[in-house]
Structure 1
Amino acid sequence: MTKTYKIVVLGGDGIGPEVTDQAVRLLKEIQPQLSGVAFEFDEHSVGVGEYQKNGDALPETAFEACRNSDAILLGAMGLPNVRYPNGKEIAPQLDLREKLDLYGGVRPIELFHEADTPLKNYGPGEIDFVLVRESTEGIFAGRDAVADLDADESLNIIRITRKGAERVCRMAFEVARKRDKAKKVSLIDKANVLSTMVYFRHIFDEVAKDFPDITAEHVYVDASALFMVRRPHDFDVMVTENMFGDILSDLAAGLVGGMGMAPSADIGDKAAVFQPSHGSAPDIAGQGIANPIAMILSAVMMLQWFDNDETRRAGAALHAAVARVLSDPSNRTPDMGGKLSTTQITDAISIALKDALN
């Protein structure tokens, strides 16, 4: 009996549709090689274009499709020059996180070639960690607040709940348990200053007791930024508050080649969105030079998340194909100093994928 996975595809804005198309192309190439598995793709228009047409960046039809899907592939949404009346950027990806309760932002960081990192003496696989970001509360909990520009001050809150902290910490330990490394989870906080972080740390320590096989440690967020540059090999899994995770994940991407190399997943108990960590890059949209690697690696994460023997095999094959292509430093798009187009990178991965699946 064939298991059909319904995948909603949201290209979004800027380079979003360009990179999403490449991931869908490879998934369609994989499908005939799988036994008892099929993919059904359902594309919807979301983002700035929809906002400009009908005032809603995430139409109800698109959201309902997402809610009824097995997974969501999202390219990139938002353009810096198009904003809501309150001055904030259009970010329906945040609406998806909140509406679908996608509390765990999982962001793997992996170095594929020594030429891609600004750090000395690191080769393939020697930078390899996962940042797990709480994605529904923290400082972002106050994102609906509107600034009074004539007032004498403006405030945002940090919201940490027991439920939110406990479930994201538990997810981080479960991610660590599945990895091949030293099995360590580092809580990244600011418990020396903020009471909310003292609370987060207390809950982290409670959860850690349920995982005696995994080392638990605490690292202040400012120190972690230093350690990520000085000794990134010491990290295995990091778990942190929403804003801290937002900032540190960009730093982490810089260690392995930039945002074009940084996949991510926003995962909840009943739904998941898989998307590159980068933005919509309107300055290069339509030129055919966007880096599709982060989007393709996000598709790898989706295949693994389906938790089916065949999709896991497909995810491993697609990851191996990416690694093989990136082992040649000439296989790079312009953002990484190369000359290949978006399609040329995908062509190379497609060829490597055929070998990896056999």
Structure 2
Amino acid sequence: MSGARLLILEGDGIGPEIVAATRTVLDACDAAYGLALRLETAEIGFSALDAHGTTIPDTVVAAARAADGVILGPVSHNDYPPVAKGGLNPSGVLRKSLDLYANIRPARTPEALGLPGRAVDLVTVRENTEGFYADRNMFEGPGEFRPDPDIALAIRKISRRACRRIAEAAFALAETRPARHVTAVHKANVLRISDGLFLEECRAVAADHPDLRYDEVLIDAMAAHLVRDPGRYDVIVTTNMYGDILSDLAAELSGSLGLAGSLNAGADHAMAQAQHGSAPDIAGQGKANPVSLIASVAMLLDWLAQRGTLPEGAAAAAAIQAGIAAALADSATRTPDLGGTGTTTTLADAVADGVRRAA
């Protein structure tokens, strides 16, 4: 038994429900594969704001840094008060504080759903620490400002270092996939300097991987191509905002944003995070689909296995994916967003049963 220490942060809205569902699956993995997990919890979001005056206390960041991995529930950061009053975005804070530079977002059509149209099987590798995100590109203060009441300006930071390491992450991932194909998405015909720098680094890394296929597509064209023929693509690498948008599009094309796993990874830390938001309108009703967070935790277990921290994690991750596939095949366990009659709990219980059967 190797064990791993995981910090669990429930978040807001449906966060506590899908985190509880994910813990059901983790407990099944722990028992079936002898993971010897050490699970810790801490408050973030509105509950932390009420108790500590901030949506993410410094103690939580320190605990995340000390853990082997983090599980983050969705947060309602758009509803938080201003930063000066404690309304920080926990996701952004952790991505910056732990240097989680690669946001890995797979999109794959589940066979069980029998969706019409062309199958999707691709991964978006999104740069996670700079770009147009106002909280991630300045040493002090946000990257947006208003010089007068009628003008708003935004700064986008693109650095050679960030471009190089996200390109390296994408090509390393492509080496493990059958298609062995990387597509860099950009808008260098307009953003000639910043997206031009991104492409320089992608081309340099591509030259180090002559055995992989490499091409480049404009962001607007890519949105159209994904709808028309997503099967053309394998690993998509791009900057922060483009990647956020394209990965959501790919997730919907593959079945639902509620099925989309997402891992934020860096050199030393990783964080599982559902790709969707906190959906406060359905909180507490048992309707929330927990698969996105469960699939994200499978990615975290696999990441820990690759690092040698949790050798049994790879088998557990594969069992989770098999459990998800089996659960989605039954309309009685699927949640309403997937045309089923199940609940958050029944879907999690079905995935956990699948894990136990796979062991």
**What's the TM-score once normalised by structure 1's chain length?**
0.92
2:186 is aligned with what amino acid?
Answer: D
1:247, CA displacement in angstroms? 1.1
- Please identify, of 78-87 and 210-219, the stretch whose mean Cα deviation from structure 2 is larger: 78-87
| CA shift in 2, pair 1:344/1:323, >3 Å | same
The answer for the alignment partner of 1:188 in structure 2 is 185
1:166, CA displacement in angstroms? 0.2
Separation in 2, partners of 1:252, 1:296: 19
Alignment map for 1:52-67 (pairs within 5 Å): 52-67=50-65
Percent sequence identity over aligned pairs: 37
The answer for the alignment partner of 1:19 in structure 2 is 18
2:130 is aligned with what amino acid?
Answer: E
Question: What are the Cα deviations for residues 144-201 of structure 1, in whole angstroms up to 9, with x where unaligned?
Answer: 145438433211112111110000000001111112x211010010011102111110
Question: What are the Cα deviations for residues 110-165 of structure 1, in whole angstroms up to 9, with x where unaligned?
Answer: 11037474xx433xxx3111001000011112681454384332111121111100
Question: Does structure 1 retain, via aligned residues, the 8 Å contact 2:9–2:44?
Answer: yes
- Please identify, of 166-175 and 47-56, the stretch whose mean Cα deviation from structure 2 is larger: 47-56
Question: Does structure 1 retain, via aligned residues, the 8 Å contact 2:146–2:153?
Answer: no
Question: Does structure 2 retain, via aligned residues, the 8 Å contact 1:80–1:89?
Answer: no
- Please identify, of 184-193 and 249-258, the stretch whose mean Cα deviation from structure 2 is larger: 249-258
The answer for the alignment partner of 1:28 in structure 2 is 27
* Number of equivalenced pairs: 349
The answer for the alignment partner of 2:91 in structure 1 is 93
The answer for the alignment partner of 2:346 in structure 1 is 344
Alignment map for 1:154-169 (pairs within 5 Å): 154-169=152-167
1:53, CA displacement in angstroms? 3.4
Separation in 2, partners of 1:105, 1:184: 18
Q: Which runs of 5+ in 2 are unaligned?
A: none
Question: Does structure 2 retain, via aligned residues, the 8 Å contact 1:115–1:329?
Answer: no
Question: What are the Cα deviations for residues 41-75 of structure 1, in whole angstroms up to 9, with x where unaligned?
Answer: 00001012212433211111111110000000011
Alignment map for 1:198-347 (pairs within 5 Å): 198-307=196-305, 308-347=310-349
1:83, CA displacement in angstroms? 3.0
Separation in 2, partners of 1:149, 1:285: 39
Question: Does structure 1 retain, via aligned residues, the 8 Å contact 2:327–2:351?
Answer: yes
| CA shift in 2, pair 1:274/1:228, >3 Å | same
User: Secondary structure of 1:289's match?
Assistant: coil
Question: Does structure 1 retain, via aligned residues, the 8 Å contact 2:61–2:97?
Answer: no
Asked whether 1:3 is paired with 2:2, we answer: yes
Separation in 2, partners of 1:344, 1:113: 20
Alignment map for 1:103-182 (pairs within 5 Å): 103-113=101-111, 115=113, 117=115, 120-122=116-118, 126-140=119-133, 141=137, 144-145=142-143, 147-148=145-146, 150-179=148-177, 181-182=178-179
Separation in 2, partners of 1:88, 1:245: 28
Question: What are the Cα deviations for residues 259-308 of structure 1, in whole angstroms up to 9, with x where unaligned?
Answer: 21111011000101101101110001111110000011011101110124
User: Secondary structure of 1:178's match?
Assistant: coil
Question: Does structure 1 retain, via aligned residues, the 8 Å contact 2:143–2:155?
Answer: no
Question: Does structure 1 retain, via aligned residues, the 8 Å contact 2:49–2:86?
Answer: no
Separation in 2, partners of 1:44, 1:304: 23
Question: Does structure 1 retain, via aligned residues, the 8 Å contact 2:180–2:213?
Answer: yes
1:220, CA displacement in angstroms? 0.6
User: Secondary structure of 1:8's match?
Assistant: strand
Separation in 2, partners of 1:137, 1:79: 18
Separation in 2, partners of 1:249, 1:86: 31
The answer for the alignment partner of 1:197 in structure 2 is 195
Question: Does structure 1 retain, via aligned residues, the 8 Å contact 2:163–2:202?
Answer: yes
Question: Does structure 1 retain, via aligned residues, the 8 Å contact 2:127–2:162?
Answer: yes
| CA shift in 2, pair 1:121/1:145, >3 Å | closer
